[in-house]
Amino acid sequence: MKTNYCDYIIVGSGIAGLYIALLAIERGSVLILTKGNIDDCNTRYAQGGIAVAMGKDDSPEFHFKDTMAAGDGLCDAEAVRILTDEAADCIADLIKFGVPFDTLDGEITLTREAAHSVPRIMHAGGDATGEHIEVTLSRQVRSTPSKVLENCLASEILVQNGRVTGVRALDCRTGSVEEYHCQFLILATGGAGKLFKYTTNSDVVTGDGIALAFEASAEISDIEFFQFHPTVLRLPGVAPFLISEAVRGEGGILKNVEGQRFMLDYAAEAELATRDIVARSIVYEMKKTHSARVFLDVTHLPPRLITTRFPHIYRFCRDHGLDITKGLIPVAPAAHYLMGGMKVNNWGETNIPGLFAAGETACTGVHGANRLASNSLLESVVFSRRVMQRTEMTVPPRHCEERSDEAISYCLPDREVLPKVSHLNLPNLQSLMWDKVGIIRSGKSLKEAASILATWESLLSQPSDRPSYELNNLVLCARLVTEAALLRKESRGAHFRTDFPQTSPEWQRHIVFRKNVIK
């Protein structure tokens, strides 16, 4: 095997990975590993925008309170304070790098989304915020001395004497394996949205970083909390397409197949309730009306507002035969965002010295049990910058400190291998997770899923190419999500169990998994 060295190795090329690379190149040599091409990530599909308190009637304190409320008792207050206080400086960085945020009369325009008390969402290109950020940052990275290895899948974290020394990676084109060594390894690989049959996530989002970290004995926290976006286009033969939360923020109304508005029956905030409430309400309404969808109605809004504020959504729907200024938009929930991930402290450090995590793959404590809309891109830049600040400190980076909140650590339990289960492939895995570990859960369904997943895991062979590595990673992430959901005997935020429908004070704590370790 060939040996290569860089000061910083970054795995992943979404907003977190690219932003870190742009900051790191001023401090040392940088290598970016990405299993596809540099633009393959979830960032480019983010429509909602970035939340930042910069309006005249807003403040970081208001943003802090909204975020804490959405997190349903599990947000880390110090992390949220960092997020809201440091937001403006990080946005200034993005502007410096050239991200073209939307303006009106020379000022950045701000819109409102669900569970935000005031308008504070910045956009670029209307509903193309993620794409503009991704294109801008990737163009900047390409102009730096950073080395980018595309089609290169990280397959193992290298640890020596308790400290990360690098990563082993597979060249997806040739099948060759190389080792890359570094002082700092930063995982920015995104979430695990491809676990589910219906998802807004890119095909590359297969839980790679979480699986890598777990196998290296990093701690995984809050992974039972998976956010399902309430409004995803549901048209026969059309891949799931996100209908931004901002559409409801602008006045979009949810109606069932009988044409009746229903959200007021479930929440006083109606369409602007938190995502978990809206998603579950839609599921209940679909069951009540024996339908696989509901409708989002914007026909009462000015057509010009729709076409200029949501150009991508308007064009996508029009290209599939639907003029949303005149007709209803068929929607249903889909898996969207993982609140949990690698447990990190307020500097992005994991419990393994030298290993950092940023973006959706990290669990900073900001989102708690339920992410506030448009906080994810902001979290990526705020805590990515703190990763870089930590690596510059004269005191060597240390392991992740325990947060002040309560946490209980577990290892994955041994389960009886079933004599016969369905064949393991990606569609079967996604159907299992959607049906038994989805929006509405129960102890019975979770136990069934846990047994099947443990059996599938026992049948896995040594991976040799990108599809087999991805499937192995997804099976491990599926086990983590399912076992955590089974342990949490309550309903909180995005985690809802029919057998424990109430929130319990006893479970205002975090579930942490670590391989072969029980604390």
List the catalytic residues: 275
Closest CA to 24 of 390, 397, 394: 390
For residue 184, what is the enclosing H or E element? strand 177-187
CA dist 464 and 462 (Å) reads 7
**Which residues, including other chains, have CB under 8 Å from residue 393's CB and lie 6 or more apart?**
none
Structure tokens at 146: 């950073």
Helix (H, G, I), strand (E, B) or coil at 140: helix
Structure tokens at 103: 């303006």
- DSSP annotation string for 405-432: S-EEEE-PPP-PPPS--PPP-HHHHHHH
* CB-neighbour burial class of residue 89 (10 A; exposed 0-12, middle 13-18, buried 19+): exposed
On whether the CB atoms of residues 58 and 112 are closer than 8 A, the answer is no
13 Cβ contact list (under 8 Å, min separation 6): 32, 34, 38, 39, 40, 41, 138, 148, 188
CA dihedral 436, 442, 444, 445 (to 10 degrees): 0
75: how many CB neighbours lie within 10 A of its CB? 27
Please, where are the H alpha helices in 297-361?
303-309, 311-319
Buried b / exposed e over 236-257, threshold 16 CB at 10 Å, is: eeeebbbbbbbbbbbebbbbbb
| Token couple for 492 | 């909180």
Query: Rounded to whole angstroms, how far apart are CA atoms 495 and 379?
Result: 21
Q: In what order do the strands lie in the sheet with 407-410?
A: 362-363, 341-343, 220-221, 510-513, 407-410
Q: Say how far apart CA 412 and CA 270 lie, in whole Å.
A: 39
- The C-alpha atoms of residue 7 and residue 26 are separated, in whole angstroms, by 11
Separation of alpha carbons 434 and 443, rounded Å: 15
